[in-house]
Amino acid sequence: MTTLTTPNFYHRRRRLAQAVSVALAVLVPAFGLFRFDMRAGGVTVLDRQIWFSDFFLVAGLWIFLISLLVMLYSSAGTVFCGWVCPQNILSEWANHMTHRLLGKRAEVSLEGHKPVVAIAKNKALNWILLGSSFLAASLLTGLIPLFYFYKPETILSFVLWQTDPELAGSLHWIYFVFVLIIFIDIAVIRHFWCRFACVYRVWQHSFRTRETLHVAYDNSRAPECGSCNYCETSCFIDLNPKKTEVYDSCINCGECIDACNRMHAKDKVVGLLRFKFGEREEAKTSRLNFRNATISLKSRSIWMFLIALLGIGFFIWGYVNWEPFHVAVYRAEVQSSSSNLDYRISVANKYLKPAEVRVKVEGLSQGEYQLSEDDLIIPGGGRSSINLAISPELSHGLHPFVVTVSSGSWVSDFSAQHFSDR
């Protein structure tokens, strides 16, 4: 038999994955790698505004991410839930704090059993510490979504109750609602959500196959198991790891495998549970009657890989052809003039840093128009405009012209036509 070399093999790696996922959830928006820009109606990536009109960038990214997720769900099943899901991370932490302060049997049971608080720990101080820890976790967790909409310095102003023009007036009320929902979740709901209400996990199940990663039980060594049930007590989803199904609430966390390995560590052999790809042995005889139309893992992965390549191609094409500025030319509204001869040239800067652009007009002679400015300094993520006045002495007829806006090597032309009824 294979010797057992590392105790808590999956537990330690899962905790590391959870810590990394939480860190990334904060650091990615904090460093400007990805953030929503509600004023521009898009997102910012690497200090660049990506508008929803940037079709190939947006479509390519979504196609790529969805393809990766489908491949993940088809191969590793619900491993996302057990290893990086924030709901599960908070629920496990809440269980740990509850057991530490109120006893091992004081848990939010998925079977509906009443929590049993240890007599020695049923003290007001322990209850206060537990409630305070839940409140502190809710306050901190409620800040994480704000990083996806505001810069870190703006969030600091929010926390310190300082005035900041970037902050929405009702943000403190919205934050209070978030904190309340998170507090209720970790206090009384926890893994009830994972097992009975998580639509995300149900969607994951739509992509599972017979070959998806699952916990397998070695029936040939069943006499070694006896009536231990240590793997069942270690499962915080309240499942029997020895009888997993294609559709169940298992989140592939590996805690039951570690528990079984610890029980057999004295014999220097692995336990009876392990992760396994491939069809369950007991299901092979009923394959024709059980999900007969299911696409195999291999064929699905090939298709998803090809679709992911398409998404990458779209994204690269969109990135190469990304326009750092958006130019628009339109008639200006001048209420004091009965004959409107003015145009507005509007330039939007999709960089998050100030930029300078030069504006020129071609197709009209120098005396037939006048620009209010030739050069524009546009703030990061902002928009500026200048006035283009057409001479009233222009001859009768249609006069096409082109507005050229340039910044460094970038050049964009906007064609327009002016009709003179003189």
For residue range 362-389, what is the model confidence (pLDDT) as tens digits?
A: 988 888 888 888 898 999 888 898 899 8
Q: How confident is the model at residue 292 (pLDDT cuts 50, 70, 90)?
A: very low
pTM value is 0.76
Question: How many Å apart are CA 337 and CA 343, to the nearest integer?
Answer: 13
For residues 407 and 358, the answer to whether their CB atoms sit within 8 Å is yes
pLDDT (average), residues 243-253: 80
For residue range 137-176, what is the model confidence (pLDDT) as tens digits?
A: 999 999 999 999 988 999 999 999 888 888 887 888 989 9
Angstrom CA distances, 96 to 101, 115, 180, 379, 417, stand at 9, 14, 21, 49, 70
Q: How confident is the model at residue 238 (pLDDT cuts 50, 70, 90)?
A: confident
* List of domains in the chain: 1-53+78-206+214-276 (no CATH), 325-420 (2.60.40.10)
Describe the crossing of helices 86-102 and 124-143 by its angle, rounded to 10 degrees: 160
Report percent pLDDT > 70 for the chain: 91
Q: How confident is the model at residue 110 (pLDDT cuts 50, 70, 90)?
A: low
For residues 278 and 298, the answer to whether their CB atoms sit within 8 Å is no
Report percent pLDDT > 90 for the chain: 31
Averaged confidence pLDDT in the chain: 84
For residue range 309-359, what is the model confidence (pLDDT) as tens digits?
A: 999 999 899 888 888 999 999 887 654 444 567 888 999 998 888 999 999
Strand ranges across the sheet with 342-349: 325-331, 342-349, 383-390, 369-371
Question: Is the per-residue pLDDT at 27 higher than 90?
Answer: yes
For residues 74 and 342, the answer to whether their CB atoms sit within 8 Å is no
| 85 vs 212: which has the higher pLDDT | 85
pLDDT at position 32 is 85
Signed CA dihedral, 145, 147, 150, 155: sign only: positive
